[in-house]
Amino acid sequence: MRDLVEVSPVLVELGRRFTAAGHQVHLVGGSVRDALLAAESAGAPVAPGDLDLTTDARPEQTLAVLRGFASSTWNTGIAFGTVGAEVRGERVEITTFRADRYDRESRNPEVAWGTSLVDDLARRDFTVNAMAVSLGPDRTVTDPFGGLGDLLARRLRTPGAAVESFADDPLRMLRAVRFVAQLGLTPDDEVVAAMTELAPQLGRITAERVQHEFSRTLLNPAPRAALELFVGTGLADVVLPELSALRMEIDEHHQHKDVYTHSLTVLDQAIALEVADPDAESPDLVLRLAALLHDIGKPATRRHEARGRVSFHHHEVVGAKLVRKRLTALKYPKDVVEAVSRLTFLHLRFHGYGDGQWTDSAVRRYVTDAGDLLPRLHKLVRSDSTTRNRKRAAALSATYDSLVERIAELAAAEDLGRIRPDLDGNRIMELLGISPGPDVGQAWRFLKELRLERGPLDPDEAEAELLTWWRSR
């Protein structure tokens, strides 16, 4: 831990400057944790990425130490004791020891300066974030709550009572979920019990912060265990109840214990396809949200049929609406909401393909309706096959391969990515003798449907069809 300081010239020089000014300064928190994890895997000291420091100096004293050394400073967090700086190309955040109190009605602390490093560490969220290394000449390591041991054991604990920590700041419960995915940590029984007890307190947190933490969890390489904690403790009941509701719904194919387990498996498989595709964005938030939520319409559409069968007719339609409503409530950007909703709506379309019975018109519509989401739709549909019957899984994969081949063949003959009517608006108005208005839009849509149904037409044929349609009105 002491060697972490030596591999960063910026830290060494900051230590000299603060010490000369009569102040303590320590490398602390996530920067220590992440550097130790990197060092553990590399077998040698690794320089911290983000440089998070804590000091007994007040913000104005910190600014004085940095004067003439930092190329720039910023004060956006100074009300909370944090001074940001850039030093030799490195970004540094230096925060005064804190001794805050929480009102437990919001998560906003009553900011109070502290005088003790140990007291400052005690108010941090987890023991793995409550370790510090002095930048002074002695390089003292301070780990009063056993954070290093917890990190090596991959254990997640709070410095004090977990119930008190989460009551102070309920967002810490979502951070616990994220650390399961990000760091591979396992929460101890006290942490899980406190999360379960205080899950309703998550309602105090703004939708934006909830969404930010949930997205960060989902974007990790293997988020399944974290999502199981999220649902199992009841946190999902507060912010994403549609996910929890899947646990009791039996999959209509009887291939899985429930739709919830199926959805987690679809997510696992979608991530694997995403990572394996060199041309794909990775991590892909839209694909992962769609994989996790594609079946959330099933609880509302569940019907018991004859001979013990269960159906979920039109669950993709209901699901698309639920996705739009929930992701909007969580303040996701509009483009993300619409993309995930669209993928949810389209994820069952392929099952009408059968053994290749679709006409070219149906293939064109599939491509056009997906638009630029087509690569993601391919991954989602393939991931949605979770049958353990190898013969059936191979047949489904081969059938989808044949659809992809047909799309490629049509794309080679036609510009499927930009299907438009064979006549533009100006020619429509000229041919029909009309001015701009609703009639032009209706004519344009008629020609678009004709183009989807029959493929490209030559201008004379398109004009004849348009005139016939116009007279029939």
Are residues 403 and 299 both part of a single domain? Answer: yes
**What pLDDT, on a 0 to 100 scale, did the predictor assign at position 255?**
43
**What pLDDT, on a 0 to 100 scale, did the predictor assign at position 256?**
43
Are residues 232 and 323 both part of a single domain? Answer: no
DSSP strand pairing (101-102 vs 109-110): antiparallel
Give CA angle at 291 (290, 293), nearest 5°: 65
CB-based burial label for 364 (10 Å; 0-12, 13-18, 19+) = buried
Are residues 11 and 146 both part of a single domain? Answer: yes
Residue 84 domain-assigned? Answer: yes
Half-sphere exposure of 106 (CA within 13 A, CB side): 5
Are residues 270 and 412 both part of a single domain? Answer: yes
Reduce the DSSP state of residue 369 to 3 states and report it. Answer: helix
**What pLDDT, on a 0 to 100 scale, did the predictor assign at position 249?**
52
| Residue-range definition of the domain harbouring residue 427 | 420-472
Look at residues 402, 417, 432 and tell me which one is the last residue of a structural domain.
417
Residue 245 domain-assigned? Answer: no
Please report, as a single letter, which amino acid is at residue 180.
Answer: V
Q: CB count, 10 Å around CB of 463?
A: 17
Are residues 25 and 128 both part of a single domain? Answer: yes
Are residues 228 and 360 both part of a single domain? Answer: no
Helix axes 207-218, 285-293, angle to 10 degrees: 90
**What pLDDT, on a 0 to 100 scale, did the predictor assign at position 398?**
92
**What pLDDT, on a 0 to 100 scale, did the predictor assign at position 306?**
81
Inter-residue contact 142 to 26 (CB < 8 Å)? yes
pLDDT digit of tens for each residue in the chain (473 aa)?
Answer: 888 888 889 999 999 999 999 999 999 999 899 988 888 877 777 777 779 999 999 999 999 999 999 999 999 889 889 999 999 989 999 999 998 777 677 666 777 899 999 999 999 999 999 999 999 999 999 999 999 999 999 999 999 999 999 999 999 999 999 999 999 999 999 999 999 999 999 999 999 999 999 999 999 999 999 999 999 999 999 999 999 999 965 545 554 458 999 999 999 999 999 999 998 889 999 999 999 999 999 998 888 778 777 788 899 999 999 999 999 999 999 999 999 999 999 999 998 887 778 888 888 889 889 989 999 999 999 999 988 888 989 988 999 999 999 988 888 766 655 567 778 888 888 888 888 988 888 888 888 888 777 777 888 888 888 888 889 98
- For residue 260, CA distances in Å to 20, 81, 230, 234, 243 come to 59, 44, 13, 14, 7
Look at residues 125, 153, 181 and tell me which one is the last residue of a structural domain.
153
**What pLDDT, on a 0 to 100 scale, did the predictor assign at position 253?**
52
pTM: 0.84
Are residues 451 and 356 both part of a single domain? Answer: no
Are residues 126 and 70 both part of a single domain? Answer: yes
Using CA atoms, how far apart are residues 187 and 170, in angstroms rounded to an integer? Answer: 16
Are residues 63 and 149 both part of a single domain? Answer: yes
Are residues 214 and 272 both part of a single domain? Answer: no
Inter-residue contact 347 to 294 (CB < 8 Å)? yes
Using CA atoms, how far apart are residues 307 and 109, in angstroms rounded to an integer? Answer: 59
Are residues 409 and 267 both part of a single domain? Answer: yes
Give the containing element (helix H, strand E) for 34. helix 30-42
Are residues 385 and 465 both part of a single domain? Answer: no
CATH classification at residue 35: 3.30.460.10
